[in-house]
Structure 1
Amino acid sequence: MLRFAMLSAALLLPTVAWAQSCSFGVSAMNFGLVDTLSGSSSNSTATLSVNCTGLLLQRILVCPNLGTGSGGATASARQMLSGANDLNYQLYSDSARSVVWGSYAWPYPPTAPGFALTLNVLGSGSASQTIYGAILGGQATAVPSTYLSTFSGSHVEFRYRATPGNDCSTGAGSVDRPTFTINAIVPANCLLAIQNIDFGSNGILGANVDATGGVSITCTPGTPYTVSLSNGTTGSAPTARKMSKGVETVTYGLYKDNARSQVWGDAAMPGSTVAGSGSGAAQNLTIYGRVPAQTTPSAGVYTDTVVVTVTY
């Protein structure tokens, strides 16, 4: 007798879960040398890059939340720090720098600029976004130094999840925390504005003719400076400068004081320059001019050019 036995076996296969996974990187934002005396803003950018894997054709919402950074923030600006000194800046999601880049966990502003990434038929995909930065104008009192803010840990919360929606107002989804820095250098700097000296119209030069002009100097806080005046086009000394009309001249001098006793010259004459220290605000220096009594040349317009030099 033949007997047949039928064996049945159940083949159990492991279940594979294809959860999405994303990794991020952000380049440093380097503003370089920043002129805080100009009154205008300074711009820079950084690049956010993301690589994701998951199910083919899967749509992944990315919510790149950025907080204050290590420099902290005020109600209207993020800050970079150099010791106890700060420099105000802001991050934006648009090139016009009108929409602040924020975080659901930070009240100003309360959302991050989300964007969607759709994976390809192999279940992978990548994308990049530009982070726009601006150092705000009107910071003439910023001390010359190197300023820094670091984004890491709780300051960076890049959330991502598979969803058809665009809601970045919550902390839903997986998280990655890349680290990047924002830095700027405020160099020592000075700006000059000059007021010319006009001795007016005169007949006979039989007595002193006095007039004043000025130098307005704005330097970054704590920046020492020295202002010197050249001896003019044909002059040989601070009190023997010459205004010319052709070959004819009128002698004049430039001084630091109203009594016209302290000459204002250049480094070739020790003690004749004017020194100071910047505060971030304009400092006005008066130049006292005098045409002494002398032989009167023929009538006409007499001029000279004096070079103002600021050393800092």
Structure 2
Amino acid sequence: MRNWLVCFIWLVGSALLPGTAWGQSCSFSVPSMVFAGSTIPGSAINSMTSVTANCSGLLSLGQKVLICPNLNEGSGGATASARIMVNGANSLNYQLYQDAARSIVWGSATWPYAARPPGFLVAFTTILGPLLGSGSTTITLYGQVLANQATAPAGTYSSTFTGASATFNYRYDDGNGCTTALGATASPPAFTVQITLANDCAVTAQNIDFGPNGLLNANIDQTGQVRVTCTPTVPYSVSLSLGNTGTSPTARKMVNGAQSITYGLYQDSNRTVPWGNTILTNTVARTGDGTVQGINVYGRVPPQATPSPGTYSDTIIVTVTY
């Protein structure tokens, strides 16, 4: 009886010696990350997904498994500053991060860049006395399409992570973290990072101020501008409404109470081509290239009876049709 008991304790004790890692097994899942939005405003676009590890092990006795999820370039490739999604010959820069602030890049112990993967632990809950344990942990993978990429044409951009692009190392936690790629290796099923860019436009406008004037006995000219940014190759037209009480492009009204001043808005500096809101008749047509396109608006107050002193104003709605 005594010899049998000593033998049993020795077997269990040997399974707990430092460095012993037999019996553990982990599987992983990463849902695809899909971005939604437009690059035309010039701002970054954020998204996220999750990384889940499911582990089990024999003779685990409360040990924890360290997961080192190495994510490399993906099929789109990468530079030192960004990963890349592609759509044919076109590309879009994005990055994967460990934190919600998008400040710590999620990298790999096996790629040529400095960023390394985060390490996270899976704690076992024993399900058969001290012999068999299992556990699961999920952490968030953050993504960002980088800002200032308005020149990207419309289309679906993607990068796929599979095989060598996503190799997850795991081992019983030894306190050494993910500075090395030691341990067993498994890969999650292939997942994709993707965004579909649709044709899009953005517009801003500059006010036109005709300034202080005593008498309206001669032309008063001033110039403003609308600034349009549209997806490359997208044709668009810019319409200017007739204002609050206008009757035509050259008979808009700035008002102050019951009194008004007539003015017009034009497409040319000679003030001969009116700018209105009938497409293909008196609107301005351009083609987007992903940059800000400034289009001058030429205003004129023609000679007319001078109303009472005061501030006269009108509101014009700028519409971009594409």
TM range (shorter): 0.7 to 0.9
Q: Is 1:88 the counterpart of 2:93 in the alignment?
A: yes
- Paired with 2:247 and 2:232, the residues of 1 have a C-alpha distance of 35
**1:265 paired residue number:** 276
Residue of structure 2 aligned with 1:25, choices 6, 24, 29: 29
**1:52 paired residue number:** 55
Q: Deviations over 1:180-210 (max 9, x none)?
A: 1111222322222211112222333232221
Q: Which range moved further: 55-64 or 82-91?
A: 55-64
Query: 1:89 touches 1:135 (CA, 8 Å); kept in 2?
Result: yes
Q: Is 1:43 the counterpart of 2:43 in the alignment?
A: no
SS at match of 1:262: coil
Aligned alpha-carbon RMSD (Å): 2.0
Using a 3 Å threshold, how does the CA distance of structure 1 residues 96 and 299 change in structure 2: closer, same or farther?
A: closer
Task: Structure 1: state its 5+ residue gaps.
Answer: 1-16
Runs (4+) of structure 1 moved beyond 4 Å?
none
- Letter of the structure 2 residue corresponding to residue 92 of structure 1: Y
**2:195 paired residue number:** 184
Q: How far 1:222 moved relative to its partner?
A: 2.3
- Letter of the structure 2 residue corresponding to residue 32 of structure 1: A
- In the TM superposition, 1:212-227 aligns within 5 A as 212-227=223-238
Residue of structure 2 aligned with 1:204, choices 206, 211, 215: 215
- In the TM superposition, 1:1-312 aligns within 5 A as 19-33=23-37, 35-55=38-58, 56-57=60-61, 58-109=63-114, 111-122=116-127, 123-178=133-188, 179-267=190-278, 270-312=280-322
Q: What percent identity do the matched residue pairs reach?
A: 54
- Paired with 1:173 and 1:140, the residues of 2 have a C-alpha distance of 43
Using a 3 Å threshold, how does the CA distance of structure 1 residues 259 and 22 change in structure 2: closer, same or farther?
A: same
Query: 2:36 touches 2:195 (CA, 8 Å); kept in 1?
Result: yes
Task: Structure 2: state its 5+ residue gaps.
Answer: 1-20, 128-132
- Paired with 1:304 and 1:204, the residues of 2 have a C-alpha distance of 19
Query: 1:90 touches 1:134 (CA, 8 Å); kept in 2?
Result: yes
Query: 1:115 touches 1:166 (CA, 8 Å); kept in 2?
Result: no
Q: How far 1:63 moved relative to its partner?
A: 1.4
- Paired with 1:302 and 1:72, the residues of 2 have a C-alpha distance of 58
Determine which structure has more spread, i.e. the larger CA radius of gyration.
1
- Equivalent residue pairs, number: 294
Q: Deviations over 1:84-143 (max 9, x none)?
A: 111111111222222211111102235321223232223212111211112211222222
| Bigger helix share | 2
Query: 1:30 touches 1:182 (CA, 8 Å); kept in 2?
Result: yes
